[in-house]
Amino acid sequence: LHGGDISDFGLQEEYRWQHQILKKLKMPYLVVLGNHDCVANGDKVYSHMYGPLEQVYQFARNRIILLNTNTMEFTEDIVRLDFLENNLRDTENYDNAIVLAHVSPFDEDFDNRKEEPYARLIRQYRPYPLHGHKHTHRIMQPYSDGINYMIIGSVSNRRYVVLTIVGKQISHEVVSF
């Protein structure tokens, strides 16, 4: 899972360079749209390469929801809480859900009108929330509700996170290299 900012300036060539690197992985990869990816026509390049800005994947009994939370880069209301809730609601069809979004709801770049409704959905359905944007690894409970929000580190900081899913449990390990 890639937490966004796969490019710096949203240029098609940057997307291609990253694809040349990531296609060497021995497993599939998913990329959520980051704010740098939106620069210029980057959101259109992203859509061409990866599909819609919001997506849902099901692997066995694990659901991964990619959500566009880059509110500073769009003039329209883009944090689609209805999409998020619709894909979290049918809990009988998954054991674990991971919500991968670039900007976290407690970040100053997030639409503050959507912060509490977003946090409420996370509290209600209890997915595993992952976010990029800050490029430093942190786990926090910003709402004192027992929900851990993970900010994914950056390979430029020589770190990545390995998620391990066993049954209904998700654990993580930070790997430095």
pLDDT of residue 159: 85
Residue pLDDT, tens place only, 32-88: 999 999 999 999 999 999 999 999 999 999 999 999 999 999 988 899 999 999 999
Which helix or strand (DSSP H or E) is residue 22 part of? helix 12-22
- Using pLDDT thresholds of 50, 70 and 90, give the confidence band for residue 157: confident
Rounded to an integer, the average pLDDT of 145-168 is: 91
Nearest of 85, 40, 49, 42 to residue 67 by alpha carbon: 85
What is the tens place of the pLDDT at every residue in 50-61? 999 999 999 999
* pTM for this predicted structure: 0.95
Residue 5, pLDDT > 90, answer yes
Strand order in the sheet with 138-140: 55-59, 62-67, 96-101, 128-131, 149-151, 138-140
* pLDDT at residue 153, as a whole number: 81
Render 30-68 in DSSP notation, one character per residue. -B---TGGGTTTHHHHHHHHH--SSEEEEETTEEEEEE-
As a whole-number percent, the residues of the chain with pLDDT over 90 amount to 89
Residues 6+ apart with CB under 8 A from 72: 35, 103, 109
What gap in Å lies between CA 102 and CA 44, rounded to an integer? 17
Helix (H, G, I), strand (E, B) or coil at 2: strand
When pLDDT is averaged across residues 135-149 and rounded to a whole number, the result is: 94
Of 83, 100, 89, 98, the C-alpha closest to 4 is 100
